[in-house]
């Protein structure tokens, strides 16, 4: 039975596909006008606007450092990523550890359409219609042992296919993690598509995590391993800069990034002249997930 929640989004709120695919080009222009890097305080828009690009431009702007840090690098090189066959190792504190093929997984999962807000730590946002299945269903298929408390995720690391990993931008492979109750929450999904189409390689094919109340970098791409553990797992951006990127990474307008405010956000597609809008606590999913953090100081556990 599909999970139901009070969704105030409608189809009219969906970020248009060509703008979604072009979001990183928009960021490149917006960053110049907003002064995000090293400026501190609330960024303010300056004059200027960007128009949506055509398909060739749209698919050349992404952020997937394994293929390079340039915005056109993922689209230039991600076709090297072999996504068939694809295997996900599920191990650790599970009853049925195994190397599961995507076909094994998909045969047992119920694919749904989920219309979610997506909020980046860089203070932009959008609305995306994902296609995927609840992560809880996958974990239940593997059989979670009673002592498990966390779920660790790992991205593919293929130096022969990923030219960006020759540079120490991060400690490869890219890793992420959730507390078990976060992972088992019905809003947490594994996505296989966007707008009813397969996720392109540069966007995280063939399996990507989406946790809609957390900043986007928690949504790890191209997953090859899922490990159940009783210890908090390391996460890539937290290892790189723990002052700026906490383990939880919940969308919280009251906790600023050290270099910019998180109190407001700019919706992709609105143009640089559009007013910034207030950021919603837990990205608008407070009613569904706030209870997960009862009693926690979210300024310390950011």
- List residues bridging with 128 in a β-sheet: 116
User: Residue 236, annotated ligand binder?
Assistant: no
Task: Tally DSSP H helices, then E strands, for the chain.
Answer: 9, 12
Q: How far apart are CA 168 and CA 41, in angstroms?
A: 30
219 annotated to bind ligand: yes
Contact between 76 and 60 under an 8 Å Cβ cutoff? The reply is yes
Q: Write the DSSP symbol of residue 93.
A: S
- From its phi and psi, is residue 212 left (phi > 0), alpha (psi between -120 and 50) or beta? alpha
Nearest residue to 176 via CA among 247, 256, 266: 247
Confirm whether residue 120 is marked as ligand binding.
Answer: yes
Residue with the two structure tokens 């090859």? 224
Calpha distance 214→150 (Å, rounded): 16
Judge whether 80 is annotated as a binding position: no
Q: Is 221 annotated as ligand-binding? A: yes
Residue 183 has φ and ψ, to the nearest 5°, of -65, -35
The reply to whether 19 sits in an annotated binding site is: no
Any known ligand binding at 208?
Answer: yes
Query: Is 66 one of the annotated binding-site residues?
Result: yes
Long-range contacts of residues 129-132, Cβ cutoff 8 Å, at least 24 apart: 129/14, 129/194, 129/195, 129/196, 130/189, 130/191, 130/193, 130/194, 130/210, 131/191, 131/192, 131/193, 131/194, 131/196, 132/189, 132/190, 132/191, 132/192, 132/193, 132/210
Binding-site residues for Mo-molybdopterin, please? Answer: 62, 65-66, 120, 155, 203, 208, 219-221
Binding-site residues, please? Answer: 62, 65-66, 120, 155, 203, 208, 219-221
């Amino acid at each position: 039975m599909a999970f139901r929640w009070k969704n105030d989004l409608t189809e009219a709120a969906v970020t248009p596909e060509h703008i979604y695919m072009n979001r990183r080009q928009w960021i490149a222009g917006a960053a110049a006008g907003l002064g995000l890097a090293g400026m501190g305080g609330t960024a303010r828009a300056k004059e200027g606007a960007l128009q949506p690009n055509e398909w060739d431009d749209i698919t050349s702007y992404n952020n997937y450092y394994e293929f390079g840090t340039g915005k056109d690098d993922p689209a230039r090189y991600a076709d090297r990523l072999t996504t068939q066959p694809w295997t996900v190792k599920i191990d650790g504190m599970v009853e049925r550890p195994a190397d599961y093929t995507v076909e094994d997984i998909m045969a047992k999962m119920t694919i749904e359409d989920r219309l979610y807000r997506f909020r980046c730590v860089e203070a932009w946002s959008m609305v995306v219609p994902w296609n995927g299945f609840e992560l809880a269903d996958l974990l239940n298929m593997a059989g979670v042992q009673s002592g498990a408390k966390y779920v660790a995720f790992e991205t593919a690391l293929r130096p022969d296919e990923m030219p960006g990993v020759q540079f120490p931008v991060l400690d490869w492979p890219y890793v992420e993690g959730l507390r078990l109750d976060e992972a088992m929450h019905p809003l947490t999904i594994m996505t296989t598509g966007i707008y009813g189409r397969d996720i392109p390689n540069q966007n995280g094919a063939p399996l990507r995590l989406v946790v809609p109340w957390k900043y986007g970098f928690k949504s790890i791409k191209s997953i090859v391993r899922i490990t159940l553990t009783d210890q908090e797992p390391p996460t890539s951006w937290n290892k790189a800069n723990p002052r700026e990127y906490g383990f939880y990474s919940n969308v919280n307008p009251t906790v600023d990034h050290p270099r910019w405010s998180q109190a407001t956000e700019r919706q992709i597609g609105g143009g640089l002249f559009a007013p910034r809008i207030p950021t919603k606590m837990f990205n608008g999913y407070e009613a569904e997930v706030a209870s997960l953090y009862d009693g926690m100081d979210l300024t310390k556990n950011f």
